Chains A and B, each alone.
Chain A
Amino acid sequence: MGRFDSLVPLPSASTGYGPRFDPRWKLGATLVGVCAALALQHVVYALLALLGAFGLAFASRLQLRWLMPRIGTVLLAVSIFALPLPLLIDGPGPAWEVGPVKVTSYGAIVGILLAVRAVTVVTLTLTLLATTPLDALLKAAHALGIPGLLVQIGLMTYRYLFLLADELQRLRVAVRVRGFRNAASRHAYQTAGQVAGTLLVRGHDRADRVHHAMRCRGFDRQFHSLTEFRTHLRDVVLFLCVSSVALGLVLLDRVIS
């Protein structure tokens, strides 16, 4: 499967049973799961939610070697915000003073909670993306009430992002073959600016041409699709299972707090 078939390059995820589900129900279940994960306030329940997310990922036959590097990247990004929290947030629980610095257990817990919630959200989202082609997902979003224009913009962004990346690659080759090398110099910054500007102008020109092509084929600002979704019992069961677990965790979390 090529990089264009899905937003994220997928090794073999689509061979799992995930693709058999109706994208609308999967999208709905994922949204419920994500909202629930974000609402959790206790690490224990956040960890349970993470376990549930991993369960879904494995049930969808996502490979660890595909999933883990992506989660690692997200963890790295989140750690920029999570790691300083023990030093920045004061709260209940023990605290330790190391010279002029105060380290709080509360801050550490908030940091862990932040990281766990982020990983849960990313795992659920990756599972959805890996088991559903993006066009089906956007059409499902439209079926669930997202305005057609937004869906159209999403589809076209997805389609032309890669073309723009190819254009950038060609520009990079063009400047390199003329002896340009990245360096911290005025000339290098100017060149980077010119490349970015050229890309912008070319993107704008292409947008114009695409708009012409759409008008010539009678574009009426509506999103039309031939895709027909069908609900099966398994879709409802999946949605109910994910929703029940998610809501159950939120309720338990709230009861404890």
Chain B
Amino acid sequence: MTSEPVLDIRELSYRYPQGPIALDQVTFSVSGGERIALVGPNGAGKTSLFLCLCGVLVPQAGAALVGGIDIRDAAQRRRLPGQVGIVFQNPDDQLFSATVLDDVAFGPLNQGLKPDEVRVRAIDALSRVGLNGLEERVPWNLSGGEKRRVALAGVLAMRPAILLLDEPSMYLDPRGRRELIDLLNGLGGTQVIASHDLEMVLRTCSRVLLLDAGRIIADGPAVTVLADRELMEAHGLEVPPSLLRRD
């Protein structure tokens, strides 16, 4: 882990047009190689924050440097896909190509890489997520766990400095979830994981940010934040069972 922050967010605010405020002066930073979790109730602003960090939403106030890129600067924002990769909640939203290989190659081809290099990257990314040999399969016929892995491979093939994962364990059966936890732990790099699955958070992240109503409520070591029953219940969450047993 490097001490240099790869994510530096200062008083970031975003309000949906004619809608409620989604992010209210959010401030935090993430060091290179750090793996942190973003937890909070539904509507807390986790997905909105991710969409801001990958340049889909443009915050109205505050400052944010993502891998050194100022996300409020339109010219710099074009370089974001190479710096930050996001895996969405529902892999069906992310797998739109006709074959697994085409889908994994989609990002690198958009980066302007040569087909030979793209092929190498795509095969390498598929191998990292343990899906060798599925290159010619149709993505939407895969199992939930495989779809999630293909979606992840599609992002890894772009070799981003920061990986954002939105509810990665959603739709997965226990085996798929276990495999995903092992995979995330083995991937390395900087990861920000938004999840309601607090057990998974405990097993993958060392630090937790608690977000509610668009504000950062707590920022600290995962075990400390998640074990605080009063804090968790005040924000619509529960202490994970494994920490309860410890009590």
Choose among A158, A210, A218 the residue with the greatest number of B CB atoms under 10 Å from its CB: A218
Closest residue on chain B to residue A162 by CB atoms: B140
Please report which residues of chain A, range 208-231, place their CB below 8 angstroms from some CB of chain B when the two chains form the complex: 209-210, 212-220, 222, 224-228
In the complex with contacts A215-B56, A216-B56, A206-B93 CB distance below 8 A: yes
Q: Which residues of B contact A158 (CB under 8 A)?
A: 98
Q: Known contacts being A162-B140, A218-B158, A226-B115, is A135 close to B96, with CB within 8 Å?
A: no
Question: When A163-B92, A224-B106, A224-B109 are in contact, do A216 and B81 touch as well, CB less than 8 Å?
Answer: yes
Cα distance, A206 to B90, chains bound together (Å): 10
What string of 1s and 0s marks CB contacts (under 8 Å) between B82-120 and chain A?
101110101011101111011001110111000100110
Q: Indicate whether A159 reaches chain B with its CB closer than 8 angstroms.
A: yes
> Do residues A213 and B96 form an inter-chain contact, with CB atoms below 8 A?
yes
Q: How far apart are A98's CB and chain B's nearest CB, in angstroms?
A: 55
Do A216 and B141 touch (CB < 8 A)? Answer: no
With the chains together, A2 CA to B142 CA distance in Å?
A: 12
Interface size of A by CB at 8 A reads: 32
Q: Which of B90, B92, B93, B111 has the most CB of A within 10 A?
A: B93
A220 to B154 CA separation, bound complex (whole angstroms) = 16
Q: CB distance B85 to A156 under 8 Å?
A: no
- The answer to whether the Cβ of B227 comes within 8 Å of any Cβ in the partner chain is no
Residues 153 to 172 of chain A near chain B (Cβ within 8 Å):
155-156, 158-160, 162-163
Q: Give which listed residue, A160, A220, A222, A225, contacts B102 with CB less than 8 A.
A: A225
Please, which residue of chain B has its CB at the minimum distance from the CB of A223? Answer: B109
Measured between alpha carbons, how far is A157 from B102 in the docked complex, in Å?
16
Chain B, interface residues (CB within 8 Å), range: 35 or more
Q: Which of B81, B99, B115, B122 touches A217 (beta carbons < 8 Å)?
A: B81
Q: Which partner residue on chain A sits nearest B57 by CB separation?
A: A212
Task: Report B152-185 residues with CB < 8 Å from chain A CB.
Answer: 154-155, 158
Complex Cα distance, B86 from A95, in Å, reads: 72
A218 and B96 contact, CB distance less than 8 A: no
B71 CB → nearest A CB, Å: 12
Given contacts A226-B109, A226-B115, contact A216 B140 (CB under 8 A): no
Report the Cα distance A215→B93, complex, angstroms. Answer: 12
Q: How far is the CA of A138 from the CA of B140 in the complex (A)?
A: 18
Query: B140 near A226 (CB under 8 angstroms)?
Result: no
A235 to B5, CA, bound (A): 57
Interface: A62 (CB within 8 A) = no
Q: Is the CB of A218 within 8 A of B98?
A: no
Also in contact, A214 and B96, with CB within 8 A (given A209-B88, A226-B102): yes
Could you say which residues of chain B place their CB within 8 Å of the CB of A135? 97-99, 102
In the complex, which residues of chain B have a beta carbon less than 8 angstroms from the beta carbon of A225? Answer: 102, 109
Residue B59 at the chain A interface, CB threshold 8 Å: no
Contact B118 A216 (CB under 8 A): no
Chain B residues with Cβ under 8 A from A213's Cβ?
Answer: 86, 88, 93-94, 96
* Chain A residues positioned under 8 Å from B99 (CB to CB): 135
A155 and B97: CB pair below 8 A? yes
In the complex, whether A134 has a CB less than 8 A from a CB of chain B is yes
User: 5 tightest CB-CB pairs across the interface, nearest first?
Assistant: A135-B98, A224-B109, A218-B81, A218-B110, A217-B107
Question: What are 17 inter-chain pairs, A to B, with CB distance below 8 A?
Answer: A134-B98, A135-B97, A155-B98, A156-B96, A206-B92, A210-B93, A212-B56, A212-B88, A213-B88, A216-B55, A216-B84, A217-B155, A218-B110, A222-B110, A224-B105, A225-B109, A226-B105
Given A162-B140, A216-B85, A218-B158, 11 extra CB contacts under 8 A: A4-B141, A5-B138, A160-B96, A212-B56, A213-B94, A215-B55, A216-B55, A217-B110, A217-B158, A218-B107, A219-B110
